[in-house]
């Protein structure tokens, strides 16, 4: 990509999309096309076609989608499936129709089968059933990545897809009904600290293992892939580091300064027992994550408290 090329970032106000916009600006890309959900509903096929037909961006990065944790995914699988399918189909196909030079679609680590061998290699997609608690979301994301593969295979266009590990970072959602585990735990520990309670309840056994990646790293990887990757097979974006949910909880407890105890509610689901990506391919291309988990957690906590106090 040249610095003056027109780049459309779908979902630029979201957690990952905002990080990508910041990274593009940091690297000197100045011709960015951005639309909020209020300005452009990506589930509206006609509206997306009109927009891309008028703007004709050179490059497109798709970071838009309906996202949420186990609670939200379990409660609304139809919404997560339909909305994410619509966004993928509309943006990717209309980009192809209006001859976008290159497109990157961002998937999710939950696309991998629940009982997938670890660490998860790209070739393992579709080798088994996804985790039931986020099946709708996973199937929609799989479909988006496959559409990129099929378009490249059939028409030779440079449309690629990538699978980041569990994302967290500045701009994260702290709504208790929608948040992922890291912002949910930060908010939970802060509330417990302020209310002087003696314990915090952790969903599940605490033994599930996860790999977390800061959105700054996802953003740098996304720009890197737009400039250095053109294969039809999706590619993982990970850190090669994992923690149990209990270990993560202890880290956040320390950062927040909560002095009570942690109690696991084993009646609640763990989700997938272990989920870590095999990121050998992107590492061999020359990209590596740079934000340590502890540093990213401290940064997010400070940002959360700063916005609460504002």
The yes-or-no answer on residue 150 being catalytic is no
So what's the pLDDT on residue 232? 97
Q: Which listed residue (29, 81, 112, 137) is catalytic?
A: 137
Q: How many other C-beta atoms can be found within 10 angstroms of the C-beta atom of residue 16?
A: 25
CB-based contacts of 139, cutoff 8 Å, min separation 6? 81, 130
CB-based contacts of 173, cutoff 8 Å, min separation 6? 15, 67, 68, 179, 180, 183
The Cα 226–Cα 61 span in angstroms is 9
Give CATH for domain 7-168+211-241+275-291: 3.40.50.720
What angle, rounded to 10 degrees, do the helices at 135-155 and 77-97 form? 20
| Residue labelled with tokens 């700063």 | 306
Domain residue ranges in the chain: 7-168+211-241+275-291
* Average pLDDT by stretches of 10, the chain with 310 residues: 97 96 97 97 98 98 90 89 98 98 96 93 95 92 98 98 96 82 93 94 92 98 98 97 96 96 91 89 98 97 87
So what's the pLDDT on residue 310? 62
The Cα 141–Cα 69 span in angstroms is 15
The Cα 190–Cα 303 span in angstroms is 13
Number of separate helices (H) and strands (E) present in the chain: 10, 13
Say whether pTM exceeds 0.85: yes
Q: Is 254 exposed, middle or buried (0-12, 13-18, 19+ CB in 10 A)?
A: middle
The Cα 120–Cα 234 span in angstroms is 12
Q: What share of the chain is helix, strand, coil (3-state, %, to 5)?
A: 45, 15, 35
């Amino acid at each position: 990509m040249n610095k003056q090329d027109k780049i459309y970032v779908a979902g630029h106000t979201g957690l990952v999309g905002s990080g990508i916009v910041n990274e593009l600006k940091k690297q000197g890309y100045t011709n960015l096309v951005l639309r909020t959900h209020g300005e452009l509903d990506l589930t509206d096929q006609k509206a997306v076609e009109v927009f891309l037909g008028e703007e004709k961006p050179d490059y497109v990065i798709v970071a838009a989608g309906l996202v949420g944790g186990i609670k939200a995914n379990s409660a609304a699988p139809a919404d997560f499936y339909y909305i994410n399918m619509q966004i993928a189909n509309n943006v990717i196909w209309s980009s192809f129709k209006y001859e976008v030079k290159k497109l990157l679609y961002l998937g999710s680590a939950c696309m991998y089968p629940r009982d997938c061998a670890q660490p998860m290699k790209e070739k393992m997609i579709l080798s088994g059933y996804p985790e039931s608690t986020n099946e709708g979301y996973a199937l929609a994301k799989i479909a988006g990545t496959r559409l990129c593969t099929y378009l490249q295979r059939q028409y030779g266009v440079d449309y690629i897809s990538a699978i980041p590990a569990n994302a967290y970072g500045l701009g994260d959602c702290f709504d208790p009904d929608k948040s992922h585990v890291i912002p949910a735990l930060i908010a939970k520990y802060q509330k417990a600290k302020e209310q002087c309670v003696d314990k915090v309840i952790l969903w599940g056994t605490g033994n599930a293992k996860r790999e977390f990646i800061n959105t700054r790293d996802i953003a740098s990887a996304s720009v890197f892939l737009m400039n250095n990757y053109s294969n039809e097979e999706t590619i993982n974006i990970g850190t090669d580091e994992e923690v149990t949910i209990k270990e993560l909880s202890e880290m956040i407890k320390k950062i927040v300064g909560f002095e009570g105890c942690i109690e696991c509610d084993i009646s609640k689901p763990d989700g997938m027992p272990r989920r870590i990506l095999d990121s050998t391919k992107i590492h061999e291309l020359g990209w590596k994550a740079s934000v340590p988990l502890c540093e990213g957690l401290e940064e997010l906590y400070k940002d959360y408290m700063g916005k609460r106090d504002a």
